[in-house]
Structure 1
């Protein structure tokens, strides 16, 4: 089909590229946005957060894939590489006992060979102005629980500034966030959801979107953009407006996390826009 990368931005919430848990891939075969899961353990692996650790392995694997690699082949190779890393750093027993220790990531990836986009987890896709999200029910539960808790904190006298400095709402839902890791890639559970974490993925729940032959633009993005727009400038504008009006992300846009004092945004964010050149 052919394409040109027109706009790219990947920026960590802390402003430090080394701490950014979002990564992207841009080659003539694949374009991908990888969103490493936010750490809830505080533990580092080889000097990286678990989310960045997973994202790096996924990025390196995709960059080495042949153009004709299928979704199943891609996930299989990523899992082989993640399992090798788990053995290398002696993580398997710890992951089995504490599932939230598992490095994991969401992924949205365009295959030029198949003219398809594959969504695993809650990264976003836009094709000619139409947004394809892949949200999970768990996020609504934790976001609403945190929102309720923060509203009560404010009613009791806390200020927005105090909560930006010390988010007690995040502390309140931390256990829920840790518990949800036990439900990763669980097809039989009402709250199960799929991520890439080195273990089996239910491919029937992976969204596969066939790109129309007359498509003009494709945008791949992480959920660090709560309101995805068809230009980077506008996406950045609505994000900055949200951070100004609802920095804790508990009213206008309910999230499991908000702005932390000293950070530039509530989450890492990545935006990649492709201009399609047709057949």
Structure 2
């Protein structure tokens, strides 16, 4: 396993606030995208997404090189559940998904020569992109685009909306509060989605990419990159173009939040390019 390039940077430019993570050793390579929870599980300077990221990084560092996908995701999920249990918060987390410590992940296993992708983390192998965008995220992005375009038609400027993000986000919040209901839900729904949060069980939601037997280059990234390319420079250039030409995030890439004034990007981002 050879690391060619890697980067992990928070949208605010502060390492201690970044919910993304990158991991690489001789057996595994991974990017982690911790999710920003709507409610806090415990009063803490660390966000729920940051706690989830730390749990997954610690598990990866001790994981058996020969674990299967199911074994790996069971262990990763169990690490978050164990954190709840140590804090005496398992019942609270179970009953209120909005408070859970949650994360997505993309992993390369050298032993199995496979890439395992959960959620909207991304993997690029031989120019083929593997990711899964949640239906509920698409809905929220469309609704936010409607709100932004309506505000623009009413005379608000893009600069005003960027400087006052709550003008839009406040209206979107009522709908977004419904999202956690669908998190790892057993009830059939178009909007249900799987995530590592201590209560994950739907292993069929993990996408598997089988790598060739020969040396192969793999790129992993979080969804902080709207467009993924084979190199870090190309991917960063595409992000810069996005932020420059569509900082409201409603046109060439829709998101549930814009480039907030003073931030480096619209989201935390992580990138790992390795040869397996």
| Distance apart, 1:202 and its partner CA | 0.7
* Alpha-carbon distance in 1 for matches of 2:68, 2:45: 32
Decide whether the 8 Å contact of 1:21 with 1:35 is kept in 2: yes
* 1:126 aligned residue (116, 119, 124): 124
Question: SS state of the match for residue 149, structure 1?
Answer: helix
* Alpha-carbon distance in 1 for matches of 2:40, 2:205: 30
| Distance apart, 1:77 and its partner CA | 2.0
What pairs with 1:191-230 in structure 2 (closer than 5 Å)? 191-214=191-214, 216-230=216-230
| Distance apart, 1:44 and its partner CA | 5.8
Cα distance change of structure 1 residues 216 and 70 upon mapping to structure 2, 3 Å threshold: closer
Question: SS state of the match for residue 240, structure 1?
Answer: helix
| Distance apart, 1:215 and its partner CA | 5.5
Decide whether the 8 Å contact of 1:34 with 1:106 is kept in 2: yes
Question: SS state of the match for residue 271, structure 1?
Answer: strand
Decide whether the 8 Å contact of 1:45 with 1:53 is kept in 2: no
- Normalising by structure 1, we get a TM-score of 0.93
Question: SS state of the match for residue 154, structure 1?
Answer: helix
* Alpha-carbon distance in 2 for matches of 1:66, 1:84: 19
Identify the range of structure 1 (55-64 vs 154-163) with the bigger mean alpha-carbon deviation.
154-163
Decide whether the 8 Å contact of 2:194 with 2:200 is kept in 1: no
What RMSD in Å do the two structures reach over aligned CA positions?
Answer: 1.7
- Normalising by structure 2, we get a TM-score of 0.94
* Alpha-carbon distance in 2 for matches of 1:250, 1:34: 25
| Distance apart, 1:98 and its partner CA | 3.0
| Distance apart, 1:113 and its partner CA | 0.8
* Alpha-carbon distance in 2 for matches of 1:25, 1:39: 23
Decide whether the 8 Å contact of 1:100 with 1:179 is kept in 2: no
Instruction: Count residues with an aligned counterpart.
Output: 274
Matched, 1:254 2:254: yes
| Distance apart, 1:22 and its partner CA | 0.2
What pairs with 1:63-82 in structure 2 (closer than 5 Å)? 63-82=61-80
Identify the range of structure 1 (176-185 vs 141-150) with the bigger mean alpha-carbon deviation.
176-185
Partner of 2:2: 4
* Alpha-carbon distance in 1 for matches of 2:68, 2:175: 34
* Alpha-carbon distance in 2 for matches of 1:48, 1:15: 16
Decide whether the 8 Å contact of 2:41 with 2:93 is kept in 1: no
Partner of 2:185: 186
